[in-house]
Chains A and B, each alone.
Chain A
Amino acid sequence: MNEGQGIKIIVSMIGLDGHTTGGEVVSMILRDAGMEVVYLGCNQTPEAIVQAAIQEDVDFIGISSHASNYDQIELLVRLLGESNAAGIQVICGGNIPHDRTLDLKAKGVAEVFPPGSSREAIVGYIVGQVRARTAA
């Protein structure tokens, strides 16, 4: 169960989204898989998340979304690019409608996990991405 060892990820809500349950459950799953999780919690602006990601030198940013504020996820991806930190992949999960999922992916979000996603799907994706990066 330690397939995630060596991977560092931020888990955060974005903007004024105050729904914490999803982010906390996912943090537990990722920690159980051996990853180092930096849980930022609520009231995090995209700017603050980018800053934390660079300071903490993470591999991924995971945004738990339950507030329909997708523009801020797009802003987060843009800011990462502008900060020369585009290597940090953004993934998100939560109540995000199908079309918005496609938009977010088109704008640089690596993957979107809908509600009901399994541990295997989430952990497997992250580990797979890191392996692919290392192999490249």
Chain B
Amino acid sequence: MKRETDYGYVIKPVYTAKDIEGFDYQSDLGDPGAFPYTRGYHPEGYRSRMWTQRMTAGLGSSSDANKVLKKYREMGQRGGMQVIHDRVSCSNLDSDHPLGRREAGILGWPGSSLLEFEELMEGIPLTGQSITLLGSCAPSPMRLAWVIALAEKRGDDLSKIHGSVMESPFENYMGQTDIQPLELNLKLFLDACEYVIRHKIRMRAAIISQHFQESGGNNAQALGVVLSMLKEVCTRLVDERGLDFDDVAAVPYELVTVGTRFFEEIAKVRALRRMWARMAREHFKARKEKSCQLLIAVHTSGRTMTYQQPLNNIARSAIQTLAGAIAGCTALDNATLDNAHAEPSPLAARMSLNTQHIVASETGVADVVDPLAGSYFIEHLTNKVEEEGYKVLAKIDALGGMIAAVKKGFITDMLRDEANKKFREIDGKERLIVGVNHLVIPEEEEFRVPIQEVHPDSDAESIAHRTETWKKARDQQAISDRLAFLYAEAQKGDRHNLMPAIIEAVKVYATSGEISGVIRLARGLSYDPFKMIECPFPLGVRRAA
């Protein structure tokens, strides 16, 4: 069995003061709340702000997902909600698209219009908890527009609403794709980020290394990739959109994966806080302390949830949740015991939320900030993963930054090699996984867990049929006018912000497929990425002001 970190550092049997020679408390760690923030941002840690305890929702119709969100609240979800798109709306396809109707709502929330968002949020306030919508980059501007439009309809003060609805375009190269081209995703992502900054809207953008690691990337690579993503996004917002870095820095947040390698995961998160703080201050010349504090949310690793003996996953999730809590995080959502089988069943969701509350309330972990600080091993590992992470960052920098590295195939190649290595390590039993290659049980002794099925009334065809019927009942003239305006706007170049036109279109219930299609047309692409449907609107005939 290998005794080395997932990035190949061989672990010694014991660590002593010699392993952290030159260690300086003030410059390497600082007190919690002080630069370089290795120990976190709050002097009193979770005593002053408990992490947001949330679960990912999204399956079946929007009304189904609404019921699940309400149930999660009963089950102990606190501080925020998180909903993931289905595969259809991830790519800005509507559920009545010929391909959409085959799988709407079967792996997430079929969110493709303000109507769906209204149904999702029925009876749930927009304020008082963070609103997180995710799944892919492509719907980022729509999600922002839905929040703005619904807040206006409800008469909510937009400045009281917070959360995260934007998502960076890089996940498409990290084992989880949507169909929109990089240039378009990037442009609309930057539009949405610029819009929230200029309008002081407290909606953040997820810069997600989670997919990278869940697809096989290692901890050190994840650090290099996160910092490259942050650097690219912030640089573009400053240079291309003329924004101040101290305003820009309030937008990104990082979603990291925490897997079963307990100490290594904690070291990674600590290193990330320090690396960002230094990048913000030294590279971006941050003036505000807040800009040096990267918000970090933890997702416990779905990849490590085994198909075999799924109850074992409760133990894995507990260990990972504990690691996430010790590492210090602003929010945590944990993978469920049935993760390798289906979307979370109520039982599995309850187990995961209970796991968070057990860690928060019973273990004492939430009482003390950064409790492992000063441990020879933890500090050594934090230095080590930082050192290796900087090497990856330097490689990406040398290629010209994250976008250049993506275009040159560097990210996908690195990920593929690492995923293959991980498979070989397990297949060759260099890494043991209970139930998979260690202590395997015969098929007949396998225990079954409840599997969450989509409600029969909310199958893909029903969702598609509803969309089709509803589309005809909308104010066609208003939609046509707003889309014609958007079409004209979208021809004004990459730096012309389309958010105002998108918001206007969303308010009259134009769908993601329609909005995205019209923008695509304006850029010389086909209305439908699959070329199966044509644009139903006479664009350019009328121009709304």
| Chain A interface residues toward B at CB < 8 A | 15-21, 24-25, 28-29, 42-43, 45, 67-69, 71-72, 95-99, 114-116, 118-119
Interchain CA distance A106-B47 in the complex, whole Å: 55
Q: Which residue of A lies closest to B341 (CB)?
A: A97
Q: 26 pairs across A/B with beta carbons < 8 Å?
A: A15-B103, A16-B99, A16-B103, A18-B136, A19-B176, A20-B175, A20-B177, A20-B215, A24-B416, A24-B419, A29-B423, A43-B179, A67-B87, A67-B106, A69-B103, A72-B102, A95-B341, A96-B341, A97-B451, A114-B307, A114-B308, A115-B340, A116-B308, A116-B433, A116-B435, A116-B437
Please state if B423 and A25 are interface contacts (CB–CB under 8 Å): yes
| Chain B interface residues toward A at CB < 8 A | 87-88, 90-91, 93, 99-100, 102-103, 106-107, 136, 175-179, 215-216, 306-308, 339-343, 415-416, 419-420, 423, 426-427, 433, 435-437, 448, 451, 460, 530
Q: Is the interface of B mostly helix, strand, loop or mixed?
A: loop
Given contacts A98-B448, A118-B427, contact A69 B307 (CB under 8 A): no
CB distance from A102 to the nearest CB of B (A): 12
- A21: B residues at CB distance < 8 A: 175, 215-216, 415, 419
CB distance from B232 to the nearest CB of A (A): 22
CB distance from A110 to the nearest CB of B (A): 18
Interchain CA distance A28-B415 in the complex, whole Å: 13
Given contacts A16-B88, A16-B93, A19-B175, contact A69 B107 (CB under 8 A): yes
Q: Contact check: which of B106, B177, B343, B451 meets A69 at CB < 8 Å?
A: B106
Residue of B102, B216, B426 with highest tally of chain A CB at under 10 A:
B102
Q: Which 7 pairs of residues, A with B, have the shortest CB-CB distance?
A: A18-B177, A16-B87, A116-B436, A21-B175, A21-B215, A69-B103, A115-B307
Q: Which residue of B lies closest to A71 (CB)?
A: B102
- A68: B residues at CB distance < 8 A: 103, 106-107, 342-343
Interchain CA distance A18-B107 in the complex, whole Å: 11
Please state if B91 and A16 are interface contacts (CB–CB under 8 Å): yes
CB distance from A5 to the nearest CB of B (A): 20
- B307: A residues at CB distance < 8 A: 95, 114-116
Interchain CA distance A23-B71 in the complex, whole Å: 35
Please state if B342 and A95 are interface contacts (CB–CB under 8 Å): yes
CB distance from A121 to the nearest CB of B (A): 10
Please state if A67 and B215 are interface contacts (CB–CB under 8 Å): no
Interchain CA distance A29-B422 in the complex, whole Å: 12
- A96: B residues at CB distance < 8 A: 341
Known: A15-B103, A97-B342; 16 extra A-B contacts, CB below 8 A, are A15-B102, A16-B103, A18-B176, A20-B177, A21-B175, A21-B216, A24-B419, A25-B423, A42-B177, A69-B87, A69-B107, A95-B341, A98-B341, A98-B451, A114-B308, A116-B433
- B460: A residues at CB distance < 8 A: 71
Interchain CA distance A25-B216 in the complex, whole Å: 10
- A16: B residues at CB distance < 8 A: 87-88, 90-91, 93, 99-100, 103, 179
Interchain CA distance A17-B426 in the complex, whole Å: 25
CB distance from B335 to the nearest CB of A (A): 12
CB distance from B367 to the nearest CB of A (A): 37
Q: Which residue of A lies closest to B136 (CB)?
A: A18
CB distance from A72 to the nearest CB of B (A): 6
Please state if A18 and B178 are interface contacts (CB–CB under 8 Å): yes
Q: Which residue of A lies closest to B179 (CB)?
A: A43
Given contacts A20-B177, A21-B419, contact A67 B340 (CB under 8 A): no
Residue of B307, B339, B343 with highest tally of chain A CB at under 10 A:
B307
Please state if A119 and B427 are interface contacts (CB–CB under 8 Å): yes
Please state if A116 and B306 are interface contacts (CB–CB under 8 Å): yes
Please state if A18 and B90 are interface contacts (CB–CB under 8 Å): yes
- B308: A residues at CB distance < 8 A: 114, 116
Q: Contact check: which of B99, B420, B436, B451 meets A28 at CB < 8 Å?
A: B420
- A118: B residues at CB distance < 8 A: 427, 437
Interchain CA distance A27-B416 in the complex, whole Å: 11
Interchain CA distance A29-B90 in the complex, whole Å: 30
Q: Which residue of B lies closest to A29 (CB)?
A: B423
- A69: B residues at CB distance < 8 A: 87, 102-103, 106-107
CB distance from A14 to the nearest CB of B (A): 10
Interchain CA distance A19-B340 in the complex, whole Å: 13
- A29: B residues at CB distance < 8 A: 423
- A98: B residues at CB distance < 8 A: 341, 448, 451
Interchain CA distance A47-B433 in the complex, whole Å: 38
Interchain CA distance A20-B212 in the complex, whole Å: 12
CB distance from B92 to the nearest CB of A (A): 11
Interchain CA distance A95-B343 in the complex, whole Å: 10
- A28: B residues at CB distance < 8 A: 416, 420, 423
Interchain CA distance A42-B451 in the complex, whole Å: 26
- B106: A residues at CB distance < 8 A: 67-69
- A20: B residues at CB distance < 8 A: 175-177, 215
CB distance from B218 to the nearest CB of A (A): 14
- B216: A residues at CB distance < 8 A: 21, 25
Q: Which residue of B lies closest to A120 (CB)?
A: B427
Please state if B451 and A99 are interface contacts (CB–CB under 8 Å): yes
CB distance from A71 to the nearest CB of B (A): 7
Interchain CA distance A45-B176 in the complex, whole Å: 17
Given contacts A17-B87, A97-B341, contact A67 B103 (CB under 8 A): yes
Please state if A15 and B341 are interface contacts (CB–CB under 8 Å): no
Q: Which residue of A lies closest to B451 (CB)?
A: A97
- B176: A residues at CB distance < 8 A: 18-20
CB distance from A74 to the nearest CB of B (A): 11
- B99: A residues at CB distance < 8 A: 15-16, 45
Q: Which residue of A lies closest to B98 (CB)?
A: A45
Please state if A25 and B451 are interface contacts (CB–CB under 8 Å): no
Interchain CA distance A100-B341 in the complex, whole Å: 10
Interchain CA distance A96-B176 in the complex, whole Å: 18
- A24: B residues at CB distance < 8 A: 416, 419
Q: Which residue of B lies closest to A95 (CB)?
A: B340
- A114: B residues at CB distance < 8 A: 307-308, 340
- A119: B residues at CB distance < 8 A: 423, 427
